[in-house]
Structure formats: C-alpha cells, structure tokens
Amino acid sequence: MLIGELAERAGTSPRTLRYYEEHGLIHPSRDANGYRQYDDGELRVVHEIRALLADGYGVDDIKPFVACLRAGNSSGHVCPDSAAVLRRRLAEVDGFLDQLTAVRHRLQTQLEEIKCQMTP
C-alpha cells in the first residue's frame, strides 16, 4: 500500500509516517517510481508506535518494541529489551506518583489549615 493508504488506515498523516521512517521505526520499500510501498505488517507496527507515543514513550524507547514485533513476536513488549524499557518506565511512573502524592498531601494540609482558621 502507498503512504496515503497506510496513513488513512493507521489514523495518522503521511508526514508522521515519514517522521517514523526518518527515525528507523518503519521500513517501506520503494517501487519503480520511487513511491514508498508498505506491507500490512507496517500497519501493525504503526499502531504499536502510536499506542506507545500516546503512553508517553519517546522515539528511542519505542525502538525495542518495534524490533520485537519485527522478530515475529505477537506483541512488542515480550522481548528482553522491551521489558527493560517497561521496567524503567514503571520506575519513572512510580516516582511521579510519589511526587503527586506529596503535593496532594501538602494541598490537603493547607486546606485543613484554612478550614481551622475559618471556624470560630
């Protein structure tokens, strides 16, 4: 399929697909006219890329997941390199949760102080 068809089927733009290609995430072949040609497997890869980007992963973090899919696995997260990214990302999320919990506690304390001052 051509880039426009892949973009439509994946719910993205041709420009985005060219960006993915620049970063080595997708690999089109070229026909005699130089047009990019994508097989159906690339659609699956693009869906994985978009899902990971939506979850906050960076382009470099996505590469092991794509490689895992290209190796014939049913999912991009089942390979050791992908699992390492998942573990790192989970640690980052846990850190964010700790920070948010501390902020929540401070806000709650401040609101309780206001409540005590307003009560005669």
Q: Closest Cα partner for 21 from 52, 57, 55, 45?
A: 45
Q: Sort residue 29 into left (φ over 0), alpha (ψ -120 to 50) or beta.
A: beta
Q: Please, which pLDDT band fits residue 107 given cuts at 50, 70 and 90?
A: very high
What pLDDT digit, counting tens, does each position of 52-90 carry? 999 999 999 999 999 999 999 999 999 999 999 999 999
How far, in Å, CA of 28 to CA of 57, rounded?
A: 23
Residues 6+ apart with CB under 8 A from 113: none
In whole angstroms, give the CA distance from residue 107 to residue 83: 36
Confidence at residue 43, expressed as pLDDT on a 0 to 100 scale: 95
Q: What are phi and psi of 86, to 5 degrees?
A: -60, -45
The predicted pLDDT at position 120 comes to 66
Residue 36 bridge partners (DSSP): 30
Are the C-beta atoms of 77 and 83 separated by less than 8 Å?
Answer: yes
Average pLDDT over residues 100-107: 97
